[in-house]
Amino acid sequence: MQVRLECFLSWLLDARWFPETNLTEKKRLKSELRRVRRLLDRMRAFSKGKPDVRLARGLAERQAYESDIAKSAKQHVRSAPHIRIGGSAKGSPEIAEQWMCAALIIRKLRPHGSAYEEIHRILADPTLLPRPITVSEDAILELRAGTISRPLTASEFHYLKEGRDIPMRRYSISVKAIQSSVARLQKRIGAGEHFTQIAILRTL
């Protein structure tokens, strides 16, 4: 059980897997929205006073597309090597979920001391992860031989392209910020606005 908990804790606090706001995607969507709105302005000006069914249909289709792009541009798109997330919530509730679960595990493994201070230490120095995720020797041999028939993990795909594991990443954040992030999540859970702790643990 300790090994399983340490493996789970290492995944929860490995910053390589934290979703981050995809600024490139956000810029692309805003640029597309500006382009579509300029086109719509020209179409409205051109079709004004012209009772043409085809013009009206084309204008309606562009307006629907503009509405979809506008909604997407307002979303906070986050991505990680293994996942892409879109939603209206600011910040990263997914990371708060992982920190909350990590605190539960640390209290189980090391009941003496502050779980949040331990999270802070591990995030600042990923070499403290008890069992960091790496590409196994067997997988490396299969990758080199080209004999893997199953879908590749994010780590294996990176190894195939770069010849090495995804580099470990430090994550700079204060103990207070970690506590506040988890406290906000727990408040939402208590108000019935988010999944329960057990549901989050099962999902993760």
Q: What percent of the chain has pLDDT over 90?
A: 66
Q: In this predicted structure, what is the pLDDT of residue 55?
A: 85
Does this model's pTM top 0.85? My answer is: no
Quote the mean pLDDT of the chain.
89
- Model pLDDT for residues 92-102, shown as the tens digit of each residue: 888 999 999 99
CB 87 within 8 A of CB 94: no
10 Å Cβ neighbour count for 115?
22
pLDDT band at 24; cut points 50, 70, 90: confident
pLDDT band at 74; cut points 50, 70, 90: confident
Q: In this predicted structure, what is the pLDDT of residue 90?
A: 54
Q: In this predicted structure, what is the pLDDT of residue 19?
A: 82
* 147 has a pLDDT exceeding 70: yes
* 89 has a pLDDT exceeding 70: no
Q: Give the sheet arrangement for strand 78-80, strand by strand.
A: 20-21, 78-80, 83-85
Averaged over 68-88, what is the pLDDT? Answer: 68
